[in-house]
Structure 1
Amino acid sequence: MARDLQQAQEFYGRVLGWKFRAARLGDAFAVAEADGVPVAGIGAMGGDVVVAPAWTPYFAVEDADVATDRIRERSGTIAVGPVSFANGGRGALAADREGAVFGIWQGGVRADWRVGRGPAPAWLELRTRDAFEAAMFYGEVLEWATGRPGCCEVAYEDDQVVLRQTGEPVARLNGGITDATAHIPESRPRWHVYFRVRDLDEAIDSVGAAGGTTLSTIVSGPDARWVTVRDPEGAMLTLTAARAPEG
């Protein structure tokens, strides 16, 4: 969600190379595409909405009403919905017990689309107080680790809860947020999205040229490099690129 839809399209088009098309939801919403494949949606907030611009992950569910009931039963909060849309889908916006915002979506989902594959977001990360407790909440709401076809597997690895789909990691849940840090925007409980770029150094240059801000130094792992940035309106995200083979 952004305050200025045109500015957001210009920023993400420049940094991530996205193209945009209109959506069935009206003029205040645009679909971002990479290589002709839908990647994300950007919606314009109304003038009376006083929430911070941010990226929000939406999780596919079979029944939005059942999922929202589960959220309430487990002391989560439903902010909006479930709402029916013209494309036949139904969605809701919610928050978990620690205030991390997420969405649910009942409707058509591309069979070949998921986090970590192709142009889709590379990774999701939940930053929260207690990763194990959060895994219990989301597992019960979204039916993780139930053994149903297509459901996600959950494992505890290196002090993190790792979520896998068909054996491939798609998200991690990290604990460690405390009362002393929860009030800091960068440290509050929230879902954080990683987007893949071809060249990290070029993308960082584009962030500054497009009015954004780099929030961290470049971090290097065995297979990738990444950096956290903020768009012109303050929405945070992480850019990641595969490491070039040595030599």
Structure 2
Amino acid sequence: MARDPGRAHEFYAEVLGWEFGPARLGEGFSVAFREGIPVAGIGALPAAHTIPAAWTPYFAVDDADVTAARILERSGTVAVGPLAFGTGRAALAADLDGAVFGIWQGDAIPDWGMGGETAPAWLELRTRNAFDAAIFYGEVLEWACDHAGCCEVAYVEADNRILLRHAGRTVARLHGGTLAEHPDPHLRPRWRVYFRVPDVAAAVKAATALGGSSVSATGSDPVPREITLRDPDGALFSIAGPAGPGSSPQ
């Protein structure tokens, strides 16, 4: 959600190589494409609203009302919806620690997924307790179930990390240890979206030239494979280098 979608289009076109087309979600919304594949949506924030510009992950569900009830039963929060939105039903929610996410029932944009060679690459949750978060999302979104197409959950003991895999690809990472009471808002529990780029350094240079900024890099490499950026509206997102050996989110 952006305050100036036109400026956002210009920024992400240069930084991530996106093209934009109309969405079936109504006026003010557009779909970003990379190499002809839909990768993200951009909508206009109402001028009267003071909420910040932000990227929000939406998880596909079979029944938005049932999923919303599961969220509430497990002490999460449903802030908006479920309500009819375009050709589907959607809701905006928060987990036990306040990380914001959305749920989506329907097929507004066919073949929109995670983890392929084009963006987006994966999602990452920074939270206080990765195990608690995995249980919450697993119960709410039916991870590790016996239904066709469900995700596999794996634990990485070395760094208290939980991986969510689908069709052999890691599509999300859950990291524990972030303190919700920390005074730095960037360290509060939240979902971060990673978009794949062919050249991290070139993307950072383009972002800076267009009014964005670099927030932090992952690791100590002279040329990092992952880095977090802020767009001109203040929305945080991360980029990762090309897929290949050593560049997976595992």
Residue aligned with 1:27, SS: coil
User: Quick one: structure 1 residues 52 and 111, their matched pair in 2 at CA, closer, same or farther if it must change by over 3 Å?
Assistant: closer
AA of the residue aligned to 1:210: L
Which string of whole-angstrom CA distances, capped at 9 and with x for unpartnered residues, describes residues 15-42 of structure 1?
Answer: 0011111222233111111111111001
Mapped partners of 1:177, 1:108: distance in 2:
34
User: Quick one: structure 1 residues 168 and 90, their matched pair in 2 at CA, closer, same or farther if it must change by over 3 Å?
Assistant: same
Residue matched to 1:169: 170
Residue aligned with 2:28, SS: strand
Offset of residue 197 of structure 1: 0.4
Q: Following superposition of structure 1 onto structure 2, how do residues 195-206 of structure 1 map, counting pairs within 5 Å?
A: 195-206=195-206
Mapped partners of 1:9, 1:39: distance in 2:
13
Which string of whole-angstrom CA distances, capped at 9 and with x for unpartnered residues, describes residues 82-114 of structure 1?
Answer: 111332x11111111111000001111777542
Offset of residue 240 of structure 1: 0.8
Residue matched to 2:98: 99
Residue matched to 1:212: 212
Contact 2:128 2:189 in 1 (8 A): yes
Residue aligned with 2:124, SS: strand
Mapped partners of 1:19, 1:239: distance in 2:
17
Contact 2:18 2:32 in 1 (8 A): yes
Offset of residue 51 of structure 1: 1.4
Residue matched to 1:119: 118
Offset of residue 218 of structure 1: 5.9
Mapped partners of 2:195, 2:151: distance in 1:
21
Mapped partners of 1:129, 1:3: distance in 2:
30
Specify every segment of 5 or more residues in structure 2 that has no aligned partner in the other structure, as ranges.
246-250
Residue matched to 2:54: 54
Residue matched to 2:146: 147
Offset of residue 46 of structure 1: 0.7
AA of the residue aligned to 2:179: T
Q: Superposition RMSD on alpha carbons, in Å? A: 2.0
Residue matched to 1:137: 136
User: Quick one: structure 1 residues 179 and 81, their matched pair in 2 at CA, closer, same or farther if it must change by over 3 Å?
Assistant: closer
Query: Which one is further off, 140-149 or 117-126?
Result: 117-126
Q: Following superposition of structure 1 onto structure 2, how do residues 223-238 of structure 1 map, counting pairs within 5 Å?
A: 225-238=225-238
Residue aligned with 2:39, SS: strand
TM-score if structure 2 supplies the norm length?
0.90
Residue matched to 1:74: 74
Provide runs of 4+ in structure 1 moved above 4 Å.
109-113
AA of the residue aligned to 1:115: M
